[in-house]
Structure 1
């Protein structure tokens, strides 16, 4: 029988994520913010970003300069948002024809199959693009965390 190729044995991703990780193993990192900033690596990193968005619908961004402890704090506050009662979450409901807010993304017809996952989507920067029915009405601790994150990202982009 002819051999058609070979592969090294590697851990199954589902098994890896069963144990808490502080960092993603380097071989699983897809998009590196620092590589997007340098001309010599920008094109290849943009190609990876394009592929991740089109083929997977998500990606992990590393080397962005935001402190991990702060990201964990924001993640906890976002989780708190999703644990609010439906009555509270409806205050952030998407407006017709918009994808920002709480609800489903990109529903284009009444017959469309839905994935069952609720989302909350919101533009925070630039400030003038924020929707007045979303950001100012967020629970104060989440709004403050997003504000601090925005200020940190703005400062980094200006340097």
Structure 2
């Protein structure tokens, strides 16, 4: 795929999915239909929960069990694409606060989110990152992308426009 001069730190701008979803549409716009992916295979009744791989950070940090836990982590990433981490040391109250504040961020008005909108030469901010062509299939989702580490590549220009809890 030719990137037409777009670098990896940039992205073509696309409309917000939250705004598209407010319009009276009868079908998903073609740009968001992913025919290149197989539909999900549901092998359990919808009422049962799938087994999510669980990675124990204490075991991952231990000399005695690190190799086995690292193998579990590898398989979780390769086979599932997601996992649950336990014994990570982050308090439940902090996780709940981050979840609540993230939900509140995405409930902000579009005017507020436009203050954080990505630009064509910087994929950090609100929108969709890594859009390289007008024909590219997109995920039906908006994101807020921000580099925080390493400090040397952090771009603090968005921080003043962030809601206070995110700063």
| Range into which the TM-score falls when normalised by the shorter chain | 0.5 to 0.7
CA deviations 1:38-66 (Å, max 9, x no partner) are 23332333333333334433322221111
TM-score, normalised to structure 1, is 0.62
Does 1 or 2 have the higher relative contact order (CA < 8 Å, sep 6+)?
2
User: What is the CA distance between 1:85 and its match in structure 2?
Assistant: 1.3
2:71 alignment counterpart: 47
Q: Is the contact made by 2:52 and 2:84 (CA closer than 8 Å) also made in structure 1?
A: no
In structure 1, what is the Cα distance between the partners aligned to 2:45 and 2:150? 36
User: What is the CA distance between 1:95 and its match in structure 2?
Assistant: 3.6
Aligned pair in 2 of structure 1 residues 28, 108: CA closer, same or farther (>3 Å)? same
CA deviations 1:58-89 (Å, max 9, x no partner) are 32222111110121011101100000112211
Q: Which structure dedicates a bigger proportion of its chain to helix?
A: 1
* Unpaired stretches in structure 2, ≥5 consecutive residues: 1-43
User: Would you say 1:134 and 2:158 are equivalent positions?
Assistant: yes
| Cα RMSD, aligned residues only | 2.8
User: Aligned residue pairs: how many?
Assistant: 124
Q: Is the contact made by 1:92 and 1:133 (CA closer than 8 Å) also made in structure 2?
A: no
2:133 alignment counterpart: 109
In structure 2, what is the Cα distance between the partners aligned to 1:59 and 1:126? 24
User: Would you say 1:30 and 2:54 are equivalent positions?
Assistant: yes
CA deviations 1:8-44 (Å, max 9, x no partner) are xxxx685356xxxxxxxxx644222222212333233
User: What is the CA distance between 1:112 and its match in structure 2?
Assistant: 1.0
Aligned pair in 2 of structure 1 residues 71, 95: CA closer, same or farther (>3 Å)? same
In structure 1, what is the Cα distance between the partners aligned to 2:87 and 2:81? 20
Aligned pair in 2 of structure 1 residues 125, 139: CA closer, same or farther (>3 Å)? same
SS at match of 1:61: strand
* Unpaired stretches in structure 1, ≥5 consecutive residues: 1-11, 18-26, 144-159
CA deviations 1:92-137 (Å, max 9, x no partner) are 2234365432212332322111111111122323444322123343
Aligned pair in 2 of structure 1 residues 100, 41: CA closer, same or farther (>3 Å)? farther
SS at match of 2:155: coil
